[in-house]
Amino acid sequence: MKLLSGKIALIFGIANKRSIAWGIAQAFQQHGAQVGFSYAGKALERRVKPLAESIGVGFVESCDVSSDEEIASIADKAKDTFGQIDILVHAIGFANKDELQGNYYNTSREGFHVAMDISVYSFTALAKAFQPMLRPGGALLTLSYNGGDRVTPNYNVMGIAKAALEASTRYLAYDFGPQNVRVNAISAGPVRTLAAAGVSGFKTMYRQFTEFAPLQQEITIEDIGNTAVYLCSDLAAKTTGEVVFVDSGYNILGVPAPREKNIDEQG
């Protein structure tokens, strides 16, 4: 069954084939959506264009979301190309590498602003720019991480940004409710992407993850893509302002610890 037939989706945040946005794009297409891409700037073009071509995506536009002019420009281009859209995915996050290590209190004022601007404000700015062309029944989706709820060493200012992003999701859900547009977030477990590589200690955390998580399974971009399909489809027609975990259940743990053998297994 195709869950997104006839829907048009714009996906922000593809950097390469490891990107969560790429997993979402593929899942959307498999479910019948017409997809358009946006990427951060010229430097990524040679990676993103071939990916777009490989699945027949024609709308591939650069947009640095720290620029109001570039956001306005991509919204105009989308309007010219599609008229209206049904889905917008924000899979964008950034903090300077220096901020993603050591004590949180060392966060610089500039580093705080950059993380909040690109990782949080941009979702609100995109929502505003695309508001006039979002069809009723549509959906906005962003990507969060449990570091916004619980302390995750080295994640630092990105944790603060994710908490603010999740609060933005709820406020946007309220604003867009009368338009019958839903706004949700997926809080994903660790995936080896460019953004994740910037967080000090990520590799160790990633290695331990499957030892602790209830499902004992890694998170793939396909897993996240599938949940994104659900959240942006009519199956989730009455779900808005939510943060849905795709993390093999890791967030339910009070004390993450290696699993002891069951009494039955001990023999």
Secondary structure (3-state) at 169:
helix
The smaller minimum CB distance to ligand NAD, of residues 40 and 85, is found at 40
The smaller minimum CB distance to ligand NAD, of residues 16 and 29, is found at 16
The smaller minimum CB distance to ligand NAD, of residues 70 and 135, is found at 70
Query: Between 72 and 91, how does the x/- string for binding to ligand NAD read (CB under 6 A)?
Result: -------------------x
Nearest residue to ligand NAD, by Cβ distance, number only: 93
145 is an active site residue = yes
The answer to the question of residue 101 lying near ligand NAD (CB under 6 A) is no
CA atoms of 121 and 171, how far apart (whole Å): 12
Q: Which of 188, 213, 232, 236 binds ligand NAD (CB under 6 A)?
A: 188
Single-letter amino acid, residue 8? I
The answer to the question of residue 220 lying near ligand NAD (CB under 6 A) is no
DSSP 154: T
The answer to the question of residue 93 lying near ligand NAD (CB under 6 A) is yes
The smaller minimum CB distance to ligand NAD, of residues 194 and 237, is found at 194
CB of 265 to ligand NAD, least distance (A): 31
The answer to the question of residue 92 lying near ligand NAD (CB under 6 A) is yes
State the catalytic residue, choosing from 39, 105, 121, 155: 155
Q: Which of 10, 20, 51, 74 binds ligand NAD (CB under 6 A)?
A: 20
State the catalytic residue, choosing from 145, 174, 230, 250: 145
CA atoms of 121 and 152, how far apart (whole Å): 22
* Residue 49 in tokens: 């264009």
Q: How many residues bind ligand NAD (CB under 6 A)?
A: 26
Q: Strand (E) positions, 125-235?
A: 134-144, 182-188
CB of 15 to ligand NAD, least distance (A): 3
Residues 45-74 that bind ligand NAD (CB under 6 A): 64-66
In Å, how far from its chain's centre is CA 108? 25
- HSE value, Cβ hemisphere, 13 Å, CA-based, for 245: 16
**In Å, what is the CA distance from 133 to each residue of 9, 84, 153?**
12, 5, 40
The smaller minimum CB distance to ligand NAD, of residues 2 and 192, is found at 192
Secondary structure (3-state) at 105:
helix
CB 186 within 8 A of CB 244: yes
CA R_g for the chain: 18
Of 251, 124, 147, the C-alpha closest to 195 is: 147
- HSE value, Cβ hemisphere, 13 Å, CA-based, for 44: 21
As annotated, the active-site residues are: 145, 155
Binding positions for ligand NAD, rule: CB under 6 A: 13-15, 19-21, 40, 44, 64-66, 91-94, 118, 143-145, 188, 190-191, 193-196
